[in-house]
């Protein structure tokens, strides 16, 4: 995990870093040739010997780390769920051709707390649109684990239109989970909210500038058990082009504009969290054939995400890296040259005297001294 944080995501990199004194010290070994860390073959054997039972336990362990990160019971947790493509170039299990991606890929679920950016879990799955069963299999475990620790916390499920399934709506209703989910357009919806489009066109002709109109009403698709509240957002841009979006929600009293702009659109942050996980930490490396091995690798990258997020949130607050991306933190702070002096009783890291982020290192040293005290 430390290796992943440093930008060495491949098992092959273990062969080059097994004698690195910083990594040896980080995992509690006294630096030296007699304390060599795992090699590539050892790491590969570890990845491939993990069982499904091990993965379930690891998934719950990540959930416990997420819950432990809260100092007190939070008022609300927004469960942002989103699949993202992981392209495959071999014969990995679960690999499917995805027409939208125009590639063979996996599409693991990434689940975050939308309010804090903390990772809840990441689950590998085939490269296709998620089914209600897949969504609920993950959501049920997450909700159960959160409720066991924080019974009074409001839970809100937020996702795009791929997750708009009647079974998901019904389960959320039955388990006190609020939801706000994207809804795909169809002819019946467009007819029902045609008045909002006409209203937007009138407003555009009057103002001669881009405008937006919001409306809400109740709609039930043929597969839905009952009508549900739908929010319609109509935008007309400077060229007169009309864009219509819909969301379905269990929030009955909240204003349509607030629900769309402040609650649903904030889901865009999940894309940023996935970018940190996938691009910043290179978690889109499904290098193994077995799905269990690739899930274990995804958990390792998820734990690395938790480490980097905690470093930024707790240790770098108030510094110039407080809002930096993971790769920026790695390049500017963690990739710092040092001379390592090893004796029988101590390890001394001699850092550069003139270094742009010297003040950050000094602050971290003070924080660690305080924690040790």
Tens digits of residue pLDDT in 39-72: 999 999 999 999 999 999 999 999 999 999 999 9
Tens digits of residue pLDDT in 339-360: 999 988 899 999 888 888 888 8
Report residue 46 as tokens.
């570890």
Distance CA 333, CA 358 (A): 9
Check residues 373 and 72 and name the one with the higher pLDDT.
72
| Strand-strand pairing, 119-123 and 109-113 | antiparallel
161-171: buried (b, 16+ CB within 10 Å) or exposed (e) per residue?
Answer: ebbbbbebbeb
Q: Is the pLDDT of residue 368 over 80?
A: no
- Residues 180-200 have a mean pLDDT of 95
Check residues 345 and 123 and name the one with the higher pLDDT.
123
Closest CA to 63 of 119, 3, 7, 138: 119
- Residues 153-171 have a mean pLDDT of 96
Tens digits of residue pLDDT in 267-324: 999 999 999 999 999 999 888 999 999 999 999 999 999 999 999 999 999 899 999 9
The reported pLDDT for the residue numbered 328 is: 95
Tokens 């204003």 belong to which residue? Answer: 255
| Strand-strand pairing, 103-106 and 96-98 | antiparallel
The reported pLDDT for the residue numbered 35 is: 92
Residues 6+ apart with CB under 8 A from 258: none
Alpha carbons within 13 angstroms on the beta-carbon side of residue 121 total 28
Distance CA 286, CA 92 (A): 8
User: What are the boundaries of each domain within the chain?
Assistant: 50-315
DSSP 8-state class, residue 162:
G
Within 10 A of 190 (CB to CB), how many other CB atoms are there? Answer: 14
Cα–Cα distances in angstroms (integers) from residue 128 to residues 82, 87, 139, 186, 298, in the given order: 12, 12, 18, 21, 18
Q: Strand pairing partners for 17?
A: none
| Contact in structure between 59 and 299 (CB atoms under 8 Å) | yes
Length of the chain: 373
Q: Is the pLDDT of residue 373 over 70?
A: no
CATH assignment, 50-315: 3.90.350
Q: Is the pLDDT of residue 371 over 80?
A: no
Confidence tier at 208 by pLDDT (50, 70, 90)? confident
């Amino acid at each position: 995990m430390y290796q992943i944080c440093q930008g060495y995501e491949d098992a092959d990199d273990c062969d080059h870093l097994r004698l690195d004194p910083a990594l040896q010290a980080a995992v509690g070994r006294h630096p030296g040739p007699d304390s060599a860390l795992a090699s590539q073959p050892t790491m590969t054997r570890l990845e491939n010997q993990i069982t499904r039972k091990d993965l379930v336990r690891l998934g719950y362990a990540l959930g416990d780390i997420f819950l432990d990160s809260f100092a007190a019971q939070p008022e609300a947790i927004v469960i942002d769920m989103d699949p993202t493509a992981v392209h495959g170039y071999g014969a990995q299990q679960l690999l499917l051709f995805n027409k939208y991606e125009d590639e063979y890929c996996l599409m693991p679920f990434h689940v975050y707390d939308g309010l804090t950016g903390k990772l809840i879990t990441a689950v590998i799955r085939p490269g296709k649109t998620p089914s209600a069963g897949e969504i609920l299999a993950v959501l049920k475990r997450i909700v159960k684990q959160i409720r066991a620790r924080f019974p009074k916390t409001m839970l809100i499920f937020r996702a795009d239109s791929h997750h708009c399934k009647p079974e998901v709506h019904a389960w959320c209703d039955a388990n006190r989970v609020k939801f706000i989910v994207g809804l795909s357009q169809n002819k019946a919806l467009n007819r029902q909210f045609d008045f909002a489009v006409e209203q937007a066109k009138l407003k555009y002709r009057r103002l001669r500038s881009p405008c937006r109109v919001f409306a809400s009403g109740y709609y039930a698709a043929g597969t839905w058990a009952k009508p549900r509240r739908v929010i319609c957002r109509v935008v007309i841009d400077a060229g007169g082009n009309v864009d219509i979006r819909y969301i379905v929600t269990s929030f009955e009293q909240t204003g349509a504009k607030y629900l769309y702009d402040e609650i649903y659109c904030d889901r865009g942050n999940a894309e940023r969290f996935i970018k940190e996980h996938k691009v910043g930490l290179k978690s889109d490396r499904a290098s193994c054939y077995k799905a269990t091995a690739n899930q274990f690798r995804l958990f390792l990258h998820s734990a690395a995400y938790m480490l980097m997020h905690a470093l930024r949130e707790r240790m770098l607050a108030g510094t110039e890296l407080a809002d930096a991306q993971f790769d920026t933190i790695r390049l500017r702070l963690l990739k710092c040259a040092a001379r390592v002096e090893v004796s029988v009783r101590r390890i001394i890291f001699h850092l550069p005297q003139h270094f742009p982020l010297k003040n950050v290192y000094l602050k971290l040293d003070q924080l660690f001294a305080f924690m040790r005290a």
